[in-house]
Amino acid sequence: MTSLSDIRSTFLDFYARAGHEIVASSPLVPRNDPTLMFTNSGMVQFKNVFTGMETRAVRRATTAQKCVRAGGKHNDLDNVGYTARHHTFFEMLGNFSFGDYFKDEAIPFAWELLTRDFGLNRDRLLVTVYHTDDEAAQIWKKVAGLTDDRIIRIPTNDNFWMMGPTGPCGPCTEIFYDHGPGIWGGPPGSAEEDGDRFIEIWNLVFMQFEQFEDGTRRDLSARSIDTGMGLERIGALLQGKHDNYDTDLMRALIEASAHATSADPDGPGKIHHRVIADHLRSTSFLIADGVMPSNEGRGYVLRRIMRRAMRHAHMLGAADPVMHRLVPALVRQMGAAYPELVRAEALIAETLRLEETRFRQTLERGLRLLDDEMARIPEGADLPGEAAFRLYDTYGFPLDLTQDALRERGRAVDVAGFDAAMTAQRAKARAAWAGSGEAQDARIWFDLAERHGATEFLGYDTERAEGVIHALVQGGAEAGSAARDDEVLVVVNQTPF
Ligand code: GLY
């Protein structure tokens, strides 16, 4: 069986032979985009190269990029463990051209790698193109000999890739694998496209435009290529599996979880092991990249993921903290490709151990409260927001942990009620502060924190970073601008200071 590690190096070596520099994955906390919570695709580290703001000595690059999709625009957290292909952490394999080659080389590269180096059956492959992109359709016909029915034109944003509301973007072509009529599902663009028969394996983006906040676009001065292929997906395909969690790497983590909890990896606790395996990866890589658990911003997303995994370990009957004991298995699997994991191994294990020790002190009591509340409310009713808020505030249960716990019972949380309870508590904190005799002007910090969230500290990991200026404060009040020699406080969304 070809391991995920081998597939990763086959991909990188293929593009290296074609003149691409193998560039290391960038950190999960983007340095060059202060608006993005986590790096969520391979192109993030090259964003400014595509727009022309930054130049690089090489015009071809290839990466295996660490990505986290949890919190923010791309959020896969809720589905993890329950489906075959959702992850909070995954690796994206990509090749990039910065004003060098375009469609006519990107498509043959991809076809050659898939059908020759990876040995995929060409009769199983089909593609989509943006509905107006005749050029891409022609290249597919010429290079791969695909017939018209296997080049599907899609008129929606599914085939127009944008990194976010602003930034570089362009039409794309996606490559799909057909698992055959034995599996339910229809081709892309059909009503049954969400089935499991046709699986998207690779997205090739033809970067041609830059989109601005007001919705306008300009042509990029250099047309470029950005591609993204999930290693876990192509790995499952090449290993003859239908589920990403059955690949060698994920399976090793599931086995480690089974060993640490003495619970059958394929028994009734199967979902718990899957959640633990996924969350072990995202939490460990986030800690290695300088994120620490906290109650705000990125640190809170990390805490949410950690605690969620810890509840699943508890469900497996683990009497003691488990997560930190799984770190060596992860380092064995991924440490060679990501040396930062090896360097941070002790910190990761200790952070997980401390958090799990602390959380276990309230976890059981919180779960009992949840049981009591559920017994009290009518069949099928949502958990009242008040109760979910008490679980959050007193027992340290992030909202999505409570939702996850209820999902197993087919119930939901009254989220509006939860938000109302949160707002009421904030108002109480503000009133208490106002009455505490502190300087009146300190109230401005509550206003700013409520409007913008807390400033995130990046100094664990970097001494340089970009930030968005949220406010200038002068003499206890917000100022619209500042002039030379003015003394102002500058409030940014993130800073290493
Ligand atoms: N940037 C290409 C992708 O994420 O699919």
Question: How many angstroms does the Cα of residue 233 sit away from the middle of ligand 1?
Answer: 14
Instruction: Please give, one letter per residue, the 3-state secondary structure of 86-154.
Output: CCCEEEEEEEEECCCCCHHHHHHHHHHHHHHHCCCCHHHEEEEEECCCHHHHHHHHHHHCCCHHHEEEE
Read off the pLDDT of each residue in 205-209 and give the average, rounded to a whole number: 97
Residues 5, 337 contacting (CB under 8 angstroms)? yes
Query: What angle, 0 to 180 degrees and rounded to 10, lies between the N-to-C axes of helices 345-376 and 270-288?
Result: 140
> In testing the pocket of ligand 1, which one of 40, 41, 174 has its CB within 8 Å of the most ligand atoms?
41
Instruction: Please indicate whether residue 201, judged by its CB atom, sits closer than 6 Å to ligand 1.
Output: no
Atom in ligand 1 nearest the alpha carbon of residue 163: 1
Do 117 and 10 form a contact (C-beta atoms < 8 A)? yes
205 lines ligand 1 (CB under 6 A): yes
Residues 455, 494: contact at Cβ < 8 Å? Answer: yes
Decide: 88 in ligand 1 pocket, CB within 6 A. no
Report the distance separating Cα 244 and Cα 232, nearest Å: 6
- How remote is the CA of residue 298 from the centroid of ligand 1, in Å? 22
The pLDDT score that the predictor gives to residue 464 is 84
- Residue 201: count of CB within 10 angstroms of its CB: 20
Tens digits of residue pLDDT in 21-59 = 999 999 999 988 888 899 999 999 999 999 999 999 999
**Which of 347-356, 372-381, 425-434, 487-496 has the highest mean predicted lDDT (pLDDT)?**
347-356
Q: What residue type is assigned to position 408 of the chain?
A: E
For residues 381 and 384, give the distance between their C-alpha atoms in angstroms, rounded to a whole number: 9
Is 161's C-beta closer than 6 angstroms to any atom of ligand 1? yes
Return the ligand 1 atom nearest residue 205 CA: 2
- Write the residue with the smallest CA distance to atom 5 of ligand 1: 228
**Ligand 1 binding pocket includes 169 (Cβ within 6 Å):** no
pLDDT in tens, 293-341: 999 889 999 999 999 999 999 999 998 999 999 999 999 999 999 999 9
Range name among 147-156, 280-289, 456-465 with the lowest pLDDT average: 456-465
For 161-187, b/e burial (b = at least 16 CB within 10 A) is bbbbeebbbbbbbbbbbbbeeeeebeb
- Ligand 1 atom with the smallest distance to the CA of 203 is 5
Mean pLDDT, range 2-28, rounded to an integer? 97
Indicate if the pLDDT at residue 441 is higher than 70: no
Judge if the beta carbon of residue 387 lies within 6 A of ligand 1. Answer: no
* Residue with CA closest to ligand 1 atom 3: 228
Cβ pair 61, 21 in contact under 8 A: yes
pLDDT greater than 80 at residue 482: yes
> In which band, very low, low, confident or very high, does the pLDDT at 439 lie, cut at 50, 70 and 90?
low
Asked whether 228 lines ligand 1 (CB < 6 A), one says: yes
- Which phi and psi angles does 346 have, rounded to 5°? -65, -40
Query: Which pair of tokens denotes residue 92?
Result: 């994206």
Cα–Cα separations (whole angstroms), residue 437 to 238, 444, 446, 478: 66, 15, 15, 21
Among 12, 70, 124, which Cα is nearest to 400's?
A: 70
Mean pLDDT of 162-189: 93
| pLDDT of 75 strictly over 70 | no
Q: Both tokens of residue 63? A: 């990466």
93 Cβ below 6 A of ligand 1: no
Query: In this predicted structure, what is the pLDDT of residue 435?
Result: 58
pLDDT band at 436 (very low <50, low <70, confident <90, very high): low
Angle between helices 248-261 and 4-17 (to 10 degrees): 150
Can you give the pLDDT at residue 78? 80
What was the pLDDT predicted at 364? 93
- What's the pLDDT score for residue 338? 97
Burial state string for 423-455 with b = 16 or more CB within 10 A and e = fewer than 16:
eeeeeeeeeeeeeeeeeeeeebeeebbeeeebb
Measured in Å, residue 227 CA sits from the centre of ligand 1 at 6
When the pLDDT of each residue in the chain is averaged and rounded to a whole number, the result is 93
pLDDT cut 90: percent of the chain above it: 80
Is 5 within 8 Å of 133 (Cβ atoms)?
Answer: no
CA 94 – ligand 1 centroid, Å? 8
- Say if ligand 1 is within 6 A of residue 226 CB: yes
pLDDT at res. 451: 85
Mutate to test the pocket of ligand 1, among 95, 208, 226, 233 (most ligand atoms within 8 A of CB): 226
CB atoms within 10 A of CB 113: 21
d(CA 133, CA 291): 42
pLDDT for position 244? 96
Q: Is 41's C-beta closer than 6 angstroms to any atom of ligand 1?
A: yes
Mutate to test the pocket of ligand 1, among 65, 68, 227 (most ligand atoms within 8 A of CB): 227
Asked if 317 contacts 261 with a C-beta cutoff of 8 angstroms, the reply is yes
Choose which residue among 203, 208, 209, 225 to substitute to test ligand 1 binding: the one with the highest number of ligand atoms within 8 A of its C-beta.
203
User: Which atom of ligand 1 lies nearest, measured to the CA of 43?
Assistant: 1
Greater pLDDT, 80 or 111: 111
pLDDT on residue 431: 76
Q: What is the mean pLDDT of residues 173-190?
A: 96
Of 47-51, 105-109, 427-431, where does the model show the most confidence? Answer: 105-109
State yes or no: pLDDT of 385 exceeds 70: yes
Confidence bin at 440 (pLDDT 50/70/90):
low
Please tell me the distance between residue 423's alpha carbon and the centre of ligand 1 in angstroms: 37
* pTM exceeds 0.85: yes
Residue-wise pLDDT for 132-143, tens only, equals 999 999 999 999
Which of 161, 207, 234 to mutate for ligand 1's pocket (most ligand atoms within 8 Å of CB)?
A: 161
pLDDT value, residue 26: 96
Nearest CA to ligand 1 atom 2: 228
pLDDT at position 165, please? 83
Helix axes 231-238, 248-261, angle to 10 degrees: 100
Which ligand 1 atom is the nearest neighbour of the CA of 40?
A: 4
> pLDDT class for 428, splitting at 50, 70, 90?
confident
Taking the centre of ligand 1 as the mean of its atom positions, its distance from the CA of residue 70, in whole angstroms, is 16
**The tokens of 235 are what?**
């790995």
Instruction: Decide which of 466 and 355 is more confident.
Output: 355
State how far the Cα of 142 lies from the Cα of 18, in Å rounded to an integer: 21
Q: 267 C-alpha to center of ligand 1: Å?
A: 35
How many angstroms does the Cα of residue 31 sit away from the middle of ligand 1?
A: 19
Q: What is the dihedral of CA 168, 173, 179, 185, to 10 degrees?
A: 80
- Taking the CA of residue 92 as reference, the ligand 1 atom at the shortest distance is 4
For ligand 1, whether the C-beta of 170 sits within 6 Å is no
Is the pLDDT confidence value at 73 over 80? no
Pick the closest to residue 64 from 88, 96, 36 (CA basis): 96
